[in-house]
Chains A and B, each alone.
Chain A
């Protein structure tokens, strides 16, 4: 999968020929001299102003749209009440536990698939199928099996994350050049040694990619799970948003959504991506 988010940092391939032919000057907003921070924040400022303008002009009912100021107010209130911080912590804990379980199950599974052609041929289709069923579609069944409980939410997250993690671990192993293995064999390495010295480190970058992808999917599954099960399973960010909408407090709904987006970006930019990039910088391109 091409990572769409990477487009913001992608290849500083400058002005294409079309643009060159057009001979444009520094930029629409004249921001050539501004720092990149302001440049990144500007679109948000414009978007919030536009939102404010729409709200002021249309004057929509409070259950449709509220002003940015009132969303901010709801945000502060929810923090003061303590509900939001508790729910954030709960959602993150769920995601964390789900991630650990998905790694524990998915990575060895993917390695096995990557190492043995026959196992892969047999197991890949059924895994693709259950991946396509998606964790969310199992929610009703899981509610029957496990009730409106923590277990249901957790099961949906793990189910959702498992496949991307396993598939990428498999791809990681498959794309390691066979010569690495052969070279180790000529140095007298046995199978276990080769797994430890070649397959484990060699598939690591791909496992990280799978993890990022999986957490992205899992995050959405978590929200859906909390919509449905959150009431009795102790809340969560998804529940917070869903509940606010039931009460008709759109300010809280939007505040919750913004928190959701910011949390994901922080996780992605501060934890997941740096790990991936460090590895890439340190090792170079691992697979030939």
Chain B
């Protein structure tokens, strides 16, 4: 269609695309640095940007904690993804299963993740097992729900087409159902991972001695604000990298490849 303004040259656009987002970050860091200079707050309340950026290099347990959190996330997420997809496909194909699991999962989804932490501590004791359970709990219902929805929305025509060619039920599931539902599955995996990461942090906050969540909570007792902020920012960076650079492109490619309508956000 027609554009109204005279189009800006491509070079200017590229610069704008990379420069504009950097500006707020730069302003924020500058203001933060300025505030520290002007008001000289106790280092336990607001350390300078430099101190926070150095914190990971000065603190030995930093990498071990990051590693522990990421490991738990991956573990819990893998279990959630595989169980969620399998059960989701089953429920999408079979009405009795869907009718049975539907109300239960709706309810469980309403209190998924964080609310289970105290009970999980009682069951598994503090540590990795409990965190993995919480991650599974936070992600499973999203993966399940989206998979079931995706399977249901695969047009019957496609399945019939394959069946008339003499395909078996497993063929249909492998070649039609799963690919057809893939955009929904991807979108479920993506939000599942997001919920899972938050759940890791929350679980570690109250029920682990290792991991980013545990670490920043422990540092709070020593008023090590530099470590706390470094930890919080690390949590953000990891969450962002996973979502934006790993799962969002994957989801986009799935949607583009199979030409299904995706979802916002």
Do A's and B's CB atoms come within 8 Å in the complex?
yes
CB-based contact B118/A132 at 8 Å: no
Q: How far is the CA of A123 from the CA of B108 in the complex (A)?
A: 36
Interface size class of B (residues with CB under 8 A): 35 or more
Q: Is B37 on the interface with A (CB-CB < 8 A)?
A: no
CB-based contact A122/B20 at 8 Å: yes
Query: A144-B220, A245-B118 are contacts. A43–B146 as well, Cβ < 8 Å?
Result: no
A168 to chain B, nearest CB (A): 7
Q: For chains A and B in complex, what number of residue pairs have CB atoms within 8 angstroms? A: 237
Query: A11-B153, A133-B236 are contacts. A4–B95 as well, Cβ < 8 Å?
Result: no
Which B residues form the contact surface with A (CB < 8 A)?
A: 16-17, 20-21, 23-25, 28, 44-45, 93-104, 106-111, 113-119, 121-123, 141-142, 144-146, 148-149, 151-154, 156, 159-160, 163, 169, 172-173, 177, 184, 187-188, 191, 197-198, 201-202, 205-206, 212-213, 216-217, 219-220, 223, 225, 228-229, 231-233, 235-237, 239-240, 243-244, 263-265
CB-based contact B149/A1 at 8 Å: no
Q: How far is the CA of A260 from the CA of B98 in the complex (A)?
A: 24
A residues within 8 A CB of B111?
Answer: 257-258, 260-261, 264
Q: Is the interface of B mostly helix, strand, loop or mixed?
A: helix
A74 to chain B, nearest CB (A): 13
- Nearest residue (CB) in B for A41 is B103
Query: A1-B264, A4-B142, A224-B114 are contacts. A126–B21 as well, Cβ < 8 Å?
Result: yes
Interface pairs (10), CB distance under 8 Å: A13-B152, A18-B159, A27-B96, A64-B122, A128-B244, A132-B236, A220-B114, A228-B217, A261-B108, A264-B110
Which A residues form the contact surface with B (CB < 8 A)?
A: 1-2, 4-8, 10-11, 13-19, 21, 27-29, 31, 39-44, 46-47, 63-64, 118, 121-126, 128-130, 132-134, 136-141, 143-145, 164, 167-168, 171, 175, 220, 223-224, 227-228, 238, 241-242, 244-245, 248, 250, 253-254, 257-258, 260-261, 264-265, 268
B residues within 8 A CB of A242?
Answer: 117-118, 206
- Nearest residue (CB) in B for A163 is B265
Q: Is the interface of A mostly helix, strand, loop or mixed?
A: helix
Q: Out of B95, B122, B232, which one reaches A15, CB within 8 Å?
A: B95
A residues within 8 A CB of B151?
Answer: 16
A59 to chain B, nearest CB (A): 16
B residues within 8 A CB of A16?
Answer: 93, 151-152, 154, 156, 159
B residues within 8 A CB of A40?
Answer: 103
CB-based contact A224/B17 at 8 Å: no
CB-based contact A223/B115 at 8 Å: yes
Q: How far is the CA of A6 from the CA of B102 in the complex (A)?
A: 10
A residues within 8 A CB of B154?
Answer: 16
Q: Out of A118, A134, A223, A268, which one reaches B239, CB within 8 Å?
A: A134
B220 to chain A, nearest CB (A): 4
B residues within 8 A CB of A63?
Answer: 122
CB-based contact A261/B110 at 8 Å: yes
CB-based contact A126/B102 at 8 Å: no
CB-based contact A126/B28 at 8 Å: yes
CB-based contact A223/B114 at 8 Å: yes
B residues within 8 A CB of A138?
Answer: 232
B46 to chain A, nearest CB (A): 8
Q: How far is the CA of A9 from the CA of B165 in the complex (A)?
A: 33
Q: How far is the CA of A181 from the CA of B8 in the complex (A)?
A: 23
B147 to chain A, nearest CB (A): 9
Q: Out of B21, B148, B187, B232, which one reaches A121, CB within 8 Å?
A: B21
Q: Out of B108, B145, B184, B264, which one reaches A171, CB within 8 Å?
A: B264
Max chain A CB contacts within 10 Å: which of B99, B114, B115, B217?
A: B115
CB-based contact A43/B100 at 8 Å: yes
B135 to chain A, nearest CB (A): 14
B residues within 8 A CB of A5?
Answer: 106, 109-110, 145
Q: Out of B123, B184, B236, B265, which one reaches A168, CB within 8 Å?
A: B265
CB-based contact A257/B240 at 8 Å: no
